């Protein structure tokens, strides 16, 4: 199955792209997606923390993904 992955701020810099399409096996969880990103883009490991949103809803690493999902990797936001 294919999912669209969106990156923001430091995540985008570490991966070198705003958006990627990744292929995963059916029934894969968000944790597997993160593992694949780490394998293909080792610098992504430098991102100290992030949240995951699947189809604009915050999710956790155990969330099961389906074909066509949009997964956003959201780094912490600070400022004032």
Three state DSSP letters for 4-64 = EEEECHHHHHHHCCCEEEEECCCCCEHHHHHHHHHHHCHHHHHCCCCEEEECCEEECCCCE
Q: What is the pLDDT of residue 79?
A: 57
Q: What are the per-10-residue average pLDDT scores of the chain (80 residues)?
A: 97 97 98 98 96 98 98 82
CATH number of the domain located at residue range(s) 2-74 in this protein: 3.10.20.30
How far is residue 66's CA from residue 76's CA, in Å, rounded to a whole number?
26
Q: What is the pLDDT of residue 78?
A: 63
pTM for the complete prediction? Answer: 0.92
How far is residue 21's CA from residue 36's CA, in Å, rounded to a whole number?
12
């Amino acid at each position: 199955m294919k999912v669209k992955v969106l990156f923001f701020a430091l995540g985008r810099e570490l991966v070198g792209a705003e958006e990627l399409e990744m292929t995963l096996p059916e029934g894969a969880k968000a944790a597997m997606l993160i593992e694949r990103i780490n394998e293909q883009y080792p610098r992504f490991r430098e991102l100290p923390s992030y949240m995951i949103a699947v189809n604009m809803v915050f999710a956790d690493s155990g969330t099961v993904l389906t074909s066509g999902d949009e997964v956003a990797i959201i780094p912490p936001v600070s400022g004032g």
